[in-house]
Structure 1
Amino acid sequence: MTIWPPQPGSLRRPAYRSLADAVMHAVETGELKYGDRLPTHRNLAYDLKLSVQTVSRAYDELVRRGVITGEVGRGTFIRATRGEAGTPYLAQRQEGELIDLSLLKPVLEPMHGELMRRALGELADDLPDLVYSSFRPARALSRHRPAAVQWLDKCGIRLGHQSVVLTNGSTSAMALALMTVANGGDLVATEALSHHTLKPLARYQGLRLRGLPSDEAGMLPEALDKACRREGIRAVFLMPAGLGPQAVIMPEERRSALVEVATRHDLQIIENDAWGPMQSVRHKPIAMLAPERTFYFTGLTKCVMPGLRLGFLVVPEAFEAAAANRHLVTSWMATPLIAEIAARWIKDGTAERVVAWQSEALAERNRLARRVFAATPVLGHANGMHIWLPLPAAWTEDDFVSHARQHGVAVAPGSAFAVADELVAPAVRICIGAGQLAEVEKGLRVAARLVRGQPEPALLAN
């Protein structure tokens, strides 16, 4: 049922307060999201058969509650809140209205569409029966597993006794790994800033999360050891290859130190390497340091093409049956048609060529970001899809996200990635993959100007 805008005559007295409550309710239920533009005072008054003064008073009340902001000449917008920050990206991009730097995507050019059209054309002339006819995962995907092993080798994974589960992308692999290593009520450790889907995944599975302190090399081994001795950690979730919000590439010494703690306390490790071989700096995966306890996953959606939703989950031998059964009851199997395209591209070298192109395209954008933010400290790495922008004391995350949105740029609030709020300083994530280079540069320059300035008082009044 749509609750926004309210129907004329549905508001209680005093009407201004009832209207303000209706906006609040629409925000809480998700019908209005941060960055959404509200009608002008005059238009809303006309639609609801109220006076302009009543609408103005309602908007003033919403400003007082911290729900909206307004800028003369641009309009009135829903203001970002800490609760709203659970999803860092805009659910839908409003074409022509903003530069969306909130969503983590690879760079896309017409060649990606051409490659997919060509692959589909080839499949039309040469489609294996098992791709469309088999209900049995082992049969349908048997021809694709060698390609998975070949791709994992490019990621530094040399399989021994581990098995590989083909999934519908990295998110599916992450959910399956969590479901296999932990049961309801178990405690999973991760860094204070982690993958934004980890929190809801853990909540849906009844797991508890503990965000632990980190430094420039990643999670502190002593913090993990302390948490294990004090609280009984079941597993640890890590993103050592620069995927995390702060783009930390964990050095080999830190990886080895964390493996030592995990071994001593018999922890399972989940290693997120979703970008695969794209980064120019790659260390030995944790799965190669502790193959008996590490669930490693990677995929093709970030480094090859968003529509190529195929992931590879490497499972320790002792958990092979458990992972296979859980995958059956949640997903049955990866989509064979997508797996067929991926396998062909891996075998003929197309996937590797696209990754090399993607790596260079992102390197160009990272060089651009460094130039734009030359006077401002930012975190990132040479081939990353985002930068992490710490905010000066004058800015809160909510204000910065709202100001950027009102200047036509969407960025992601850092709190969306926070597992341990008390350990995290205000910051925003700025993605640099989506959109054309000129558009990204314009968005970066808006963010750079804002961070060097002060919040504008005009944004807090209508």
Structure 2
Amino acid sequence: MWPPAPGSLKRPAYRSLAQTVIDAVSAGELSPGTKLPPHRTLAYELGVSVQTVSRAYEELARLGVVSGEVGRGSFVRAASGDPRTPWHRIDGSEHVIDLSMLSPSLSKTHARRFAATLTEIAGDMPDPVAFSFRPTATLQTHIRHAVRWLAHCGVDAEPDRVIPTNGNTSAMTVALMAAAAPGDLVVTEEMGHHTLKALTGSLGMRLMGLAVDGEGLRPDALERACRIGPVKAVFLMPEGLGPLALRMGEERRRAIAAVCRRFDVTIIESDAWGPLQADRAPPLASFAPERTFYLTGLTKCCLPGLRIGWLVAPERMATGARTRHLVTSWMATALMAEIASRWLADGTASELVRWQRAAMGARNHVARQILGPHGISTTPNGLHVWLPLRAPWQEDAFVALARHHGVAVAGGSAFAIDETTRHRGVRICLGPSDSKSLERGLQIVARLAISEPELAHLAY
């Protein structure tokens, strides 16, 4: 694999060279600390321009694969334990339509509402927001507002089961820590949350991906896993949050809850988008409240900067969950909770959800018009769509070529729980860009999807 043979690079050559280095590092052929050849030397050996090698090294440095040292050269960096991020790191100097980052659509209204609330708090701030170290005293009023919002999401929860958190990631971590112990088996859909694999690994838990169909996790796959060995918890995103955009119907949710009851499995239900989706089925927590950790928040459906979420714990596990939250985060940030409380009370949160629902409905309609013939999976008001790739397209090549033509999308491999069962495709996020940029980006992706990989660069 390394060094590549002359003439083996595909167009664009710099992308192909960069991918070859990445593959060689992954395969162990290039170990951390290895010095890469000088630009001119490698260009001569491969029969390419010095500019091609320079661009490849720049791309590798941007991705964190190599580090450059002035006067010494470029070196392979040590591998980190970080999960592979599905989004691209895009700075302001790049003219890229970013469809890789999962984010809601935003407007000037969002900024104005946020600024107005901060101004309001500055003139009328409750003392506990600034002075209290005690979660119960600081967040007691906030929890009452949260309970009403949770009911809007379909979850009836007593206040002592609700734990305010700094967003859904914090809630997800606490739920896993409370539901399972090191060595326990956690199962999920075969294409799942991109941080779940790293998180369970850090907590010493085993993770297994299970087969899915058009409604998500198959009950028979869950039952089979439970019969083979003890399953401690199942992590699910039933409202289409997963990369494949699969939504569970009510009967499927009942069937999953029944299997979990039969085998004493704890359910962790991520509903991070909250009430964003129209025509929602009742949450899993309504079918098996005694064993379900339910988590949601305002980050994805209202405002990314409003890092506030809530974890609803089963009654018998609420004390343990609260303890684990205390030792990991102590409490949700009081200022974020105060902003959320005001938005929940005065209707701002509901208004922004309605706005978001309409915006994403329109964007999904555009995506279906442009990408529909390519077999995409989509939901009525979701933040992304899934585009399966036909042979002979390779995922990394498609992502790289899309980026080369100014569009960033997320490769499906970042979401694969088990590489042997991965779905080849890309996740395309609909929220971050303005409408015109989104349409232009989708059209570029559509043209790529019908092109042959060897000829795709000629389509532009």
**Offset of 1:28 from its aligned partner?**
5.7
Amino acid at match of 2:398: F
Q: Provide the C-alpha distance between the structure 2 equivalents of 1:293 and 1:173, rounded to a whole number of angstroms.
A: 16
2:403 equivalent in structure 1: 405
Instruction: For 1:220-231, list aligned pairs within 5 A.
Output: 220-231=218-229
- Given that 2:270 and 2:296 are in contact with CA atoms closer than 8 Å, whether structure 1 keeps it comes out as yes
Unaligned stretches of 5+ residues in structure 2? 1-16, 27-35, 66-79
Sort the Cα spacing of 1:141 and 1:207 in 2 relative to 1 into closer, same or farther, 3 A: same
**Offset of 1:70 from its aligned partner?**
6.3
**Offset of 1:394 from its aligned partner?**
1.7
Sort the Cα spacing of 1:270 and 1:25 in 2 relative to 1 into closer, same or farther, 3 A: closer
**Offset of 1:93 from its aligned partner?**
3.5
Instruction: For 1:276-355, list aligned pairs within 5 A.
Output: 276-355=274-353
Sort the Cα spacing of 1:223 and 1:133 in 2 relative to 1 into closer, same or farther, 3 A: same
- Given that 1:388 and 1:429 are in contact with CA atoms closer than 8 Å, whether structure 2 keeps it comes out as yes
- Residues 333-381 of structure 1: per-residue CA shift (max 9 Å, x gap): 0000010010000000010000000010011111111111132110011
- Given that 2:147 and 2:158 are in contact with CA atoms closer than 8 Å, whether structure 1 keeps it comes out as no
1:441 equivalent in structure 2: 439
- Given that 1:270 and 1:295 are in contact with CA atoms closer than 8 Å, whether structure 2 keeps it comes out as yes
Amino acid at match of 1:288: S
Q: Provide the C-alpha distance between the structure 2 equivalents of 1:378 and 1:410, rounded to a whole number of angstroms.
A: 17
2:4 equivalent in structure 1: none
Sort the Cα spacing of 1:177 and 1:259 in 2 relative to 1 into closer, same or farther, 3 A: same
Amino acid at match of 2:335: L
1:126 equivalent in structure 2: 124
1:9 equivalent in structure 2: none
Q: Provide the C-alpha distance between the structure 2 equivalents of 1:258 and 1:26, rounded to a whole number of angstroms.
A: 39
2:217 aligns with one of 207, 216, 219: 219
Sort the Cα spacing of 1:214 and 1:448 in 2 relative to 1 into closer, same or farther, 3 A: same
Q: Provide the C-alpha distance between the structure 2 equivalents of 1:324 and 1:97, rounded to a whole number of angstroms.
A: 45
- Residues 162-188 of structure 1: per-residue CA shift (max 9 Å, x gap): 600000000100011001101111110
Unaligned stretches of 5+ residues in structure 1? 1-19, 30-43, 64-68
Normalising by structure 2, we get a TM-score of 0.84
**Offset of 1:160 from its aligned partner?**
4.8
- Residues 18-60 of structure 1: per-residue CA shift (max 9 Å, x gap): xx99x9499969xxxxxxxxxxxxxx99xx6x7x3x1414666
2:5 equivalent in structure 1: none
1:431 equivalent in structure 2: 429
Instruction: For 1:178-197, list aligned pairs within 5 A.
Output: 178-197=176-195
Amino acid at match of 2:385: I
- Residues 196-246 of structure 1: per-residue CA shift (max 9 Å, x gap): 111111111111111000111111111111111112111000111111111
Aligned: 1:263 with 2:227: no
- Given that 1:93 and 1:100 are in contact with CA atoms closer than 8 Å, whether structure 2 keeps it comes out as no
- Aligned length in residues: 413
1:56 aligns with one of 20, 43, 50: 43
**Offset of 1:382 from its aligned partner?**
1.2
Higher RCO (CA < 8 A, seq sep 6+):
1
Sort the Cα spacing of 1:24 and 1:337 in 2 relative to 1 into closer, same or farther, 3 A: same
- Which of structure 1's runs of 4+ aligned residues deviate more than 4 A? 23-29, 58-61, 73-81
Sort the Cα spacing of 1:112 and 1:201 in 2 relative to 1 into closer, same or farther, 3 A: same
**Offset of 1:150 from its aligned partner?**
1.1
2:8 equivalent in structure 1: none
Instruction: For 1:9-88, list aligned pairs within 5 A.
Output: 24=21, 52=40, 54-57=41-44, 77-78=59-60, 86-88=84-86
Amino acid at match of 1:318: R
- Given that 1:87 and 1:416 are in contact with CA atoms closer than 8 Å, whether structure 2 keeps it comes out as yes
- Residues 239-284 of structure 1: per-residue CA shift (max 9 Å, x gap): 1111111111101111111111100110000000000001012001
Amino acid at match of 1:167: T
1:210 equivalent in structure 2: 208
2:71 equivalent in structure 1: none
Sort the Cα spacing of 1:295 and 1:454 in 2 relative to 1 into closer, same or farther, 3 A: same
Q: Provide the C-alpha distance between the structure 1 equivalents of 2:98 and 2:57, rounded to a whole number of angstroms.
A: 19
- Given that 2:235 and 2:269 are in contact with CA atoms closer than 8 Å, whether structure 1 keeps it comes out as yes
2:391 equivalent in structure 1: 393
Q: Provide the C-alpha distance between the structure 2 equivalents of 1:190 and 1:124, rounded to a whole number of angstroms.
A: 44
- Given that 1:346 and 1:352 are in contact with CA atoms closer than 8 Å, whether structure 2 keeps it comes out as yes
Q: Provide the C-alpha distance between the structure 2 equivalents of 1:76 and 1:342, rounded to a whole number of angstroms.
A: 42
- Given that 1:212 and 1:420 are in contact with CA atoms closer than 8 Å, whether structure 2 keeps it comes out as no
- Given that 2:147 and 2:159 are in contact with CA atoms closer than 8 Å, whether structure 1 keeps it comes out as no
Normalising by structure 1, we get a TM-score of 0.83
Sort the Cα spacing of 1:301 and 1:452 in 2 relative to 1 into closer, same or farther, 3 A: same
- Given that 2:83 and 2:195 are in contact with CA atoms closer than 8 Å, whether structure 1 keeps it comes out as no
